[in-house]
Structure 1
Amino acid sequence: MRPGPVRGLGVGDDRPATTLTALPGDRYLLCSDGLSSVVSPAALRDTLAAEPGCGPAVDRLIELAYAAGASDNIACVVADLTR
């Protein structure tokens, strides 16, 4: 997995969407602010790098959000590009 930037799109965000070239071995996280507002970008990266499967990564990210006191809905998808 390549270390990559953490990027977000939100209401009122003036930055244009970014286009990335997806490569085998990349891992993507799509999540709501219920996760990203309470779990730091470093913790997101560390968790995605440490968990071998998508399901365990999602489970751990949700655990981290609850432990941090998430008060909003938590939605996340982790996807690994295999080819």
Structure 2
Amino acid sequence: MDFIQEVFVEILNNSEVSVEIKGWDNETLLAAYKDKAALSLQKIKNILEDVALSDFDCIEEILNVYKNLGYIINHRHDFG
């Protein structure tokens, strides 16, 4: 989660703050965010349990989950 997302989630968790998006309330927004997080964790769990993947491919697949969420992944996995 990047900084802006962390701040947004913190705002939604604060009962003194109200964010209004037409057709959405704070609880619905937070639930949608948590659903996306839970789905991503399930994808990562499935990747980790896939014995057909090499360690390299396993890490690459997990990084792809993060990339598909819109996160920028730096070159911290250089196996060269």
Name the TM tier (shorter chain): 0.3 to 0.5
State TM-score, norm by structure 2. Answer: 0.36
Structure showing the higher helix proportion among its residues: 2
Larger Rg: 2
